[in-house]
């Protein structure tokens, strides 16, 4: 699991509105330069404006190590 890379991507999306929009609209392009596991990539590809803030806020609070949880 590449939690450090995921955090880097989330922090960039918080600070860079253009990157955030690209992440939602074209995750393949937004994530192409990052070395991610398939699991991490799937989680990030499933982010949208509705669940992004919840996911970003809960990154440090995952109760089950190795398991990403996105609120629906």
- Cβ neighbours, 10 Å, residue 16: 12
pTM equals 0.74
Domain spans of the chain, in order of start: 3-61
CB 68 within 8 A of CB 62: yes
Model pLDDT for residues 24-60, shown as the tens digit of each residue = 999 999 999 999 999 999 989 998 888 898 888 876 5
């Amino acid at each position: 699991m590449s939690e450090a890379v995921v955090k880097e991507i989330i922090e960039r999306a918080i600070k860079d509105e253009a990157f955030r929009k690209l992440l939602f609209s074209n995750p393949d392009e937004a994530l192409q330069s990052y070395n991610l596991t398939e699991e991490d990539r799937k989680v990030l590809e499933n982010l949208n404006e509705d669940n992004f803030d919840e996911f970003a806020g809960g990154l440090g609070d995952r109760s089950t190590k190795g398991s990403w949880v996105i609120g629906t």
